[in-house]
Every structure is written in structure tokens, then in C-alpha cells.
Structure 1
Amino acid sequence: MSGANESPLEYVSRVMRRLGARRVVFKLLANNDNSKQQIYFGSDFDVLRLIPHGDLVGETTKDKGVMYKASLKLSWIDIESDAPPSPAPGAQLIFYPRYPEVRLSGFLRGSALAPSKLMQPPTPEQRALRGQSQRCLVFGICADNTILAYSGVWDGKLARDANARIESGKISRVASVFYELEQPIQEGRILLLEKLSEIYRGGFVRSGRLSPEGDVIEYHAKNGAGYTLERMFGIVPNGRSEPDFHDWELKSHRSGAVTLMTPEPDSGTYKADLGKFLTAYGSCTETRRDFTGRHLIGVQNERSGLTFRMEGYDPEKNEVVDPDGGLIMRNLQGEVALGWTFNKILTHWSRKHAQTAYVSYKVVAKDVNYYRFGPEVLLCSGADLKLFLHAMYGNKVYHDPGINMKLVDGEWKPKKRNQFRVGWKGIDSLYEVSERVLLTDL
């Protein structure tokens, strides 16, 4: 049980942190939040960033358009015993882009500790009796993406504690419908700007990246700004789709277009045989094969002969209507040369780009480049899927690949970089909120 000076929420939070949670969030549940109608997680796309999930997989419904499902590593806990967390293997998030709306489903089945009685659909009598009574659902989010779950009883001490904190206005709201005792979003923003201010005051730094072992490696290529900025934050270059620093993705920017993401295609000749793809659609010599050039939706690229399309997308409704579609490049015969399913694009965008910091920089060329980051920073949040799809269809976002294979010692060595880019003036159109900050003012 909780200590004399410890509230019910603080006690549940302490138990979850002892079990490995790094963040603890909670939500008050109403009558309609039950196992039949599913638990409503809001209309905010940011909830897909808050709650760790598997890949989003789309399917068509009869009356709700395309919906996406993503598995969760959710386990229920008992705060009054030493029983280990009990997994609920059927737990999943369901995302309905048309509304938009996110719900939790399958969260009871298979778990010995699941609060089944508390999550049953109410009878008319129970609904009338409970009125405005609530339960409190608490999630503990662990570093390995496990989600620890606990629910208090109807109108119990936990729900009353949560409600009192919310009404006081002294608690942090996250992802629209959740709350947190700490203030992680503001804290992350503060830590980010403090670190960027420190880097700016430090002046020019030598181009370099971190090795997997954490050693600094000098970097001579022209695109060293991003690697150098990551190095200053202690980030090892990686292909993961998670944010870089306290839920913020870092992007360096000087002029011209910005690279938003570099997801690998999951369909087409490219995926089956890169050498065959480059031979057919690239520029080739005896020792090198290249695939480059801006590819726009609905426009045949003169160099590759490929036409980029958004298949399964309705531009008038601005929504995906066929989950088997995606961003597809076809040749003159209609064959798929390379493509990204909407599942792949949506999963990547929801995990990595909900909050992005675009950091300006200056460069001085010596034996290697030297960079100074700042003073201008653009903080963007609310990376809604429909904003991205609309920008993609309107060619504000485009594919600008830098892919090649070089013949080295008799063996073809590939280098893959599938860049989705946007002009700097179009950045604001991808996010719900944009804020320009000068580090010199902090």
C-alpha cells in the first residue's frame, strides 16, 4: 500500500517505475470505455508517438474506411502483490484516419491480471447508476516498449486523485487525452534548447560522427552537418525510426530542401534485386550504377522513365481508401519498380516525426568542414498523416534518391539513400504547430 505521504497515483507510479517504466501516464475512463466499444485514445496523431507499437497494418472496413492495427506489448500488473506482469497478447491500437480516432482493443484476452470485471460493457442499470463516475487507467511505458497497465475501481481513490489533479490545472496533458505527473514534453523542449544553446555558444566544431563504440570518427563528405549535430548530442548514427533526443527528432538545415526521412522501399524490383533495378532504371558504367533525380507524383521522370503514383489515395477526401496501395513507381509496362506501402510510410511517420527540431548551421571549409549550429531553430509538432499525404500529392514532398552500386575488388557494393524531401518554405505545411526560436534570446 502507499505510504502516509504518498497519493494513490504516486504509489502506482512508483510500482511501475520499480518494474521498469520510464514514463507513467494516465487517463480517466467513462462508461463507453469498455472491452466491447474499445477504449478511446483521442483523435490526436501524437498518441501513436506516445504509445510504443508494432508496425501499422491497414485493412478496409465496411463503414469506417481504412483502419490500421498495431500490436502492443501490454501487460497488466497487480499493485498489491509480487505477481509478475501478465501479458495480454491480443492488445492492439486501432487507428481510424477518416475521423481521425485511435482506440485500444483486445486488452483483456489472455492476461490473468486483466481487470475484466471493470472493463465489461455496462447494463442500462449500471450506466444510470454510475452516472459521471470514472475509473483511472494507468500506463507505464518501459524502455523495451513494454506497456504496464493498471486500472482502479469505479469512483475509487485512484480516480478521485486523478480527477483532483486534472481539475487543479497543475498537471501535464500529453497526446490529447492522457496526463502525466511530470512534464515530459516541456522538460524535453527545455533540455533540447539548453543543449542547442550550449552547442551554439561553443562555436565551430570539426565534422565528425560517432562509431558504434562511441568513438569520434572524422567525416570528410559534404553532408557532415547532420552527423556532426548528432555527435554533439551523443547520438550514434542509426536506421531506427525513433526520435533522437527526449522525443525530438533532430534535423540540420542550411538552405534549400530538407530531407524528411529515408525509408527503404518494401515492394518492387528494387527490393527483389537492387542490381537489376539499377541496370534497368539507373545511369550505368562498367564500374558504377546510379539512381538519382527528383521524382514527382503523376510525372514521368525523363531519366529513369518511371512514373511516381499515390495508389489507393483519394485526393478529394484526403484519405487512404485502399490499404494495399502506397507510393509506387511504375515503368511504361505498368510493372512496379519500387514502392512503399502506406503501412510502411504511416508507421515511419508516426514514430519519428511527431516532434522535429530543424537547426540552422553555418559551415567553414578547411581540411574538413567545420560547423556552427544555430542560432535559428524551428520546432515543429503535430505531424498529422493527412498533412503529409496532402503535401505528397501536391508535390511539396518528393522522392529525391541517392542510390548507387560501385564495383570494388570485383564485387558490387551498394549505397542506399531513399530521400523524401521538402522545400524549406513547405515545412510548416507538414505540422500543426511551428515555432521559431533564436538561441541568442535564451
Structure 2
Amino acid sequence: MLGVPRSPLEVVADVMRKHGATRIFFKLLSNNDNSKQQIYFGGDFDVLRIIPHGEMSGEVSSRDGTVFKAPLNLSWLPSDLVGSSCPAPGAQLIFYPRYPEVRMSGFLRGCPIAPNHLMHAPTFEERALRIFKPRCLILGVCSNDRILAFAGAWDSDLSRDAVARIEDENANNIASVFYELQPPLQNSRLELINRLRLIYQSGAIPSQKMGPSGVALPYAARNGAGYTLESKFGIIPNGSSEPDFMGWELKAHSGAAVTLMTPEPDVGSYRDDLGQFLTSYGRSSDVRRDFTGRHQTGIICKTTSLILQMEGYDPHRVEITDPNGGLFLRDHAGKLAAGWTFKKLVGHWSKKHAQTAYVTYKKSAAAGENFYSYGPQILLGEGAELQTFLRALYSGSIYYDPGIKQTFEGTEWRSKKRNQFRVGWKNVGGLYRKSVFLTL
């Protein structure tokens, strides 16, 4: 089917692209994918990385345990693909950590052109009749996080096109149950390794950063390792959450630890008054205040006298029991100094990429200019699952290592905040479902 012009899937994709979609995903729908039972989006965390969603909120269900929900900016295209799309304001993702699985619900409510006739729960007779005749759901993801949706009926040309592409391996499987509509990528892992090998063989590279025009420019700041590596892949820094290269996130690494993420606390005195927080728990003088120190779960940090506690979490079942819980820094009196609620942690981790390449580097200097040499050791990690992440936080394998300061300049205090969560290099591989160390 690949290469046939204007195939049914491509017709829908072309319309979605005209409406602003930059990536097109599709999924075959089973009988259980309906408005009553919700649409199954996968049994792992990866789908939360490819489907843009709003802020998560948590609640407790007597049947399902802690459940997280996130709104979707989803609109349906008309059945004839002519005219404007129409929002489905009730659409949301529901993440069930206990199982784990992700489902979409509320995708018909409030939208007059939604395909209700394709999404009702089947009768027993309909279920038996349609068991080998799947429908097809297509999602177009736009750069502004808007999602366009379209559905093909049972045994329609559109659905048969989708089935044929999957059977002929002419579609890219992504996030377990979705496929991306584009020509099959070359082996992304092999392409990545080959590119990194060329970078390793090129030796020391002057510190640089890719400019907006696509031309590498000299970069003098100390944090040039990541920018220089990205420049060799032609990547222009833009703050996008998209993977860096063919589905892989790139991380330049040196030293004994890796910084995984830098989320700001969403609760505690840190949020209320940073200056008072630094005065109470950090080191301060008339012109400078600092907050540093390695904080591991369950251990009092000697530098700050604070203890990091994971509350609302059952380590035996590896399960969140209270959506209002999280990772909290408390003083000896139990006062909350700073904290990251589970909705903050889950939301932040959901943005991490499923495939990450950690590339070792060495830094050198000559004539006042910094140079970076990459490799030969790299680590490739695939499948960053939530349960593994939570287990690593609870055990202290992932630890909080902040670098926060305020300096008095002129008439006011100026802040520089870096709330780092780090992991020892030897423990990085354990965060992924699959990991391998390679030498270029």
C-alpha cells in the first residue's frame, strides 16, 4: 500500500496537515474501544509523551486506586472532511497507574459532528459480527498541542488501508498501540549510532550552538556540551518537547551523575517566599543566599537539616495511594519546606522521551576557547516507565541535588534556581525497560 497516491489514510492526513497537524498517528479500534468503555491508548507510559495533554489532576477510585486525568484539546473533523473541525470539550486522558494503562474518555460529549454512530457500545450480536472488522482512529497532532480526530467505519476503505499498512510493516509502531503515518524510518538506533560514531571520530569540536538560521555559532558559556552535540545533529534549540533525532533524546554526560529533570516545587514555603526559604534552610549572608545538598528519600540532609519523604505511596505495591501526596522536604517540626506533588512528578515524567541516548564527553580548552570530545562510551535507554521512576525516587537511587541562590544586586535580590533530580551514572540503565552500554 505504501507509495499509492491518495490512499484513504493519506487523504485524511492531507486534510489534517492543512489544518496544522505536524504528526499523524492511527490506531485500530477493537470492540472494547467505545464511548462506554473508553478508548484504550496503551498499557505503558509512552503514549503520554506523544499525545499532548493539559495539567494532570488526581483522584482515588475504590475500584481502580489512584487515577490521573488530563484534558485534551481535541476536535473532530467532519465525516466528509469538508469544512471546519469542531471541539469535543469533554475529551480527556485517564491514566490508571495500578494496571498500568491509559484511556481516552469524553471524546464525543459536546461535539455535534463527533462520530457517535461509530463509537457506541456494541450489542452481543454486533460484537460477534465485527470482531475481525476493526474501525480506525486517526489523530493529527498540531504544534500548538491541538489534536484533530477522525474515525473510519468497520471494514471501510480507510480501515482496510490501516490494516494493510500494519500487516505489510509499512507504518511505524509507536507507543505500543499507535502507528505513525509516514514512510518507515530507517533503523533509528543504527542511524543514531552511526552519526555518533562520526562525531566521536571527528575529535575535539569547538563549543558551538546552532543559530536560528541553521548555522552553528561559537558559544562561550560553560554549558556548551549539550548545545555542541545538538549542533552536530543540526538541531536548533527551541524548547520543544519533541525528541532530538529520529525519536531519540540526546544527553551529553560527564562525571559520576546525570541530571534527569529540573522541576520547580509546586507546594511549600519555597513557593510562598523564596528568600525566607533560603534564610531558614540554606546558608545566607548580607549579599548571598545558597541552598545546596544531596537529599535522598528517608535521610536527613546534613547541609540543610531537611528530610525528603515520599508520602502517599505504597512501596510494596509500587503504587500511588494518595494523589495529593508526593515528594516532600520537611524540617524537624514537620513543616513543609518544598514539595513536588504526584501530579507534578507524573506530569513532568510523562514529558520525558521513551528513548534516550546518553553520550559521554570530555572538555578541553585552548586559546581561551572550549572544546568537546564525545564518546566512545554511550548508553541507550528505552522505555522510561512510571513505576520504575517512582521506585527509584523512593529508594534514593534518584536524589534531589539543588543549586539555588540569591545575590543582592543594587537594591534587590536576584534569584537563580536549579532544582535538579539526579541519578548516579551506574544506575541510569535501571530506569529503563531496556538499556545497553556501547562503545563507538
Distance 1:333 1:245 in 2: 48
Given the alignment of the two structures, is residue 11 of structure 1 paired with residue 11 of structure 2, yes or no? yes
State how far apart, in whole Å, the 2-side matches of 1:378 and 1:351 are. 20
Q: What is the CA-CA distance between 1:408 and the residue it aligns to?
A: 1.6
**2:257·2:425 contact (CA, 8 Å) conserved in 1?**
yes
Deviations 1:146-174 (A, max 9, x none): 21111111221212222222223443211
Once the 2 structures are TM-superposed, how far is the Cα of residue 31 of structure 1 from its aligned partner? 1.4
8 Å contact from structure 1 (residues 377, 438) kept in 2: yes
Q: Write the distance in 2 (CA, Å) between the matches of 1:131 and 1:212.
A: 51
Q: How far apart are the structure 1 equivalents of 2:152 and 2:297?
A: 50
Look up the SS of the partner of 2:42 in the other structure.
coil
What is the CA distance between 1:202 and its match in structure 2?
3.6
Structure 1 stretch 256-265 or stretch 375-384: which is displaced more? 375-384
CA contact (8 A) 2:250 2:356 kept: yes
TM-superposed deviation, 1:254: 2.0
CA distance in 1, matches of 2:305, 2:200: 45
Q: Distance in 1 between matches of 2:402 and 2:61?
A: 35
Q: What secondary structure sits across from 1:59 in the alignment?
A: strand
Which amino acid in structure 2 is aligned with residue 388 of structure 1?
F
Q: 1:318 touches 1:390 (CA, 8 Å); kept in 2?
A: yes
Decide whether the 8 Å contact of 1:21 with 1:141 is kept in 2: yes
> 1:386: which partner in 2?
387
Structure-1 residue corresponding to 2:402? 401
- Whole-angstrom CA distance in 2 between matches of 1:310 and 1:135: 43
Match of residue 119 from structure 1: 119
* 1:294 and 2:294 aligned: yes
- In 1, Cα distance between equivalents of 2:380 and 2:414: 37
| Stretch of structure 1 that moved more, 319-328 or 119-128 | 119-128
Pick closer, same or farther for the CA change 1:183–1:262 going to 2, 3 Å: farther
Corresponding residue SS for 1:128: helix
- The letter for the 1-side match of 2:94 is I
The aligned residue for residue 341 of structure 1 is 341
Q: Which residue of 2 aligns with 1:98?
A: 98
Q: Which residue of 2 aligns with 1:314?
A: 314
Other structure's SS at 1:296 match: coil
Q: 1:410 to 1:240 in 2, by over 3 A?
A: farther
The worse-fitting range, judged by mean Cα deviation, of 38-47 and 204-213 is 204-213
Distance in 2 between the 1:247 and 1:232 partners? 16
Aligned to 1:219: 220
Which aligned pairs between 1:13-412 and structure 2 lie closer than 5 A? 13-78=13-78, 80-182=80-182, 189=189, 192-193=192-193, 195-209=195-209, 216=217, 218-221=219-222, 223-233=223-233, 243-366=243-366, 367-412=368-413
**1:186 Cα deviation after fit:** 5.3
1:254-295 deviation per Cα after TM superposition (whole angstroms, max 9, x unaligned) = 230111111111111111111100000001122111111100
Q: In the aligned structure 2, how far is the partner of 1:177 from the partner of 1:30?
A: 11
SS of 2:290's equivalent in the other structure is strand
SS of 2:62's partner is: coil
* Residue type of the alignment partner of 2:394: Y
Q: Is the 8 A contact 2:306 2:332 kept in 1?
A: yes
Shift of 1:251: 1.2
SS of residue matched to 2:305: coil
Which amino acid in the other structure matches residue 42 of structure 1? G
Query: What is the distance in 2 between the residues matched to 1:272 and 1:129?
Result: 60
Cα deviation for residue 74 of structure 1 reads 1.0
Matched residues in 2 for 1:27 and 1:329: separation? 42
**Equivalent residue, structure 2, for 1:416:** 417
| CA spacing shift, 1:128–1:91, aligned 2, 3 Å | same
- Structure 1 position 130, deviation (Å): 2.8
Higher mean alpha-carbon deviation, 8-17 vs 310-319, is at 8-17
Distance 1:107 1:186, change over 3 A: farther
Q: Structure 2 vs 1, CA of residues 388 and 195 (structure 1 numbering), >3 Å: closer, same or farther?
A: same
Relative to structure 2, which stretch is displaced further, 227-236 or 308-317? 227-236
Using structure 1 for the length normalisation, give the TM-score.
0.91
User: Runs of 5+ in structure 2 lacking a partner?
Assistant: none
Once the two structures are aligned, what percentage of the paired residues are identical?
55
CA distance in 2, matches of 1:283, 1:12: 60
* CA 185–411 in structure 1, closer or farther in 2 if over 3 Å, else same: farther
What amino acid maps onto 1:401 in structure 2?
A: P
Check conservation: 2:93, 2:104, Cα contact below 8 A.
Answer: yes
C-alpha spacing 1:184/1:258, structure 2 compared with 1 (3 Å): farther
Deviates more, 1:166-175 or 1:32-41: 166-175
Shift in Å, 1:33: 0.9
Most deviating of 205-214 and 155-164: 205-214
Separation in 1, partners of 2:289, 2:211: 28
* Aligned counterparts of 2:205 and 2:424: Cα–Cα separation in 1: 27
Given residue 63 of structure 2, which amino acid in structure 1 is its aligned partner? D
Aligned partners of 1:207 and 1:225 also within 8 Å = yes
SS in 1 for 2:350: helix
Q: Within 1, Cα distance between the matches of 2:187 and 2:20? A: 20
> In the TM superposition, what is the alpha-carbon distance from 1:95 to its structure 2 partner?
0.6
SS at match of 1:352: coil
Take 2:184 and 2:399, find their aligned partners in 1: how far apart are those partners? 33
TM-superposed CA distance for 1:224, in Å, is 3.5
Residue by residue over 1:125-144, the C-alpha shift from the partner in whole angstroms, topping out at 9 and shown as x without a partner, is: 32233343221111112222
Deviations 1:327-360 (A, max 9, x none): 1000111111001111111111111232211111
1:41 aligns to what SS in structure 2? Answer: strand
Amino acid paired to 1:311: E
Q: In the TM superposition, what is the alpha-carbon distance from 1:248 to its structure 2 partner?
A: 2.8
- How far the C-alpha of 1:54 sits from its partner, in A, is 1.4
Stretch of structure 1 that moved more, 258-267 or 127-136: 127-136
Q: Paired residues, what number?
A: 436
8 Å Cα contact 1:242-1:352 kept in structure 2: no
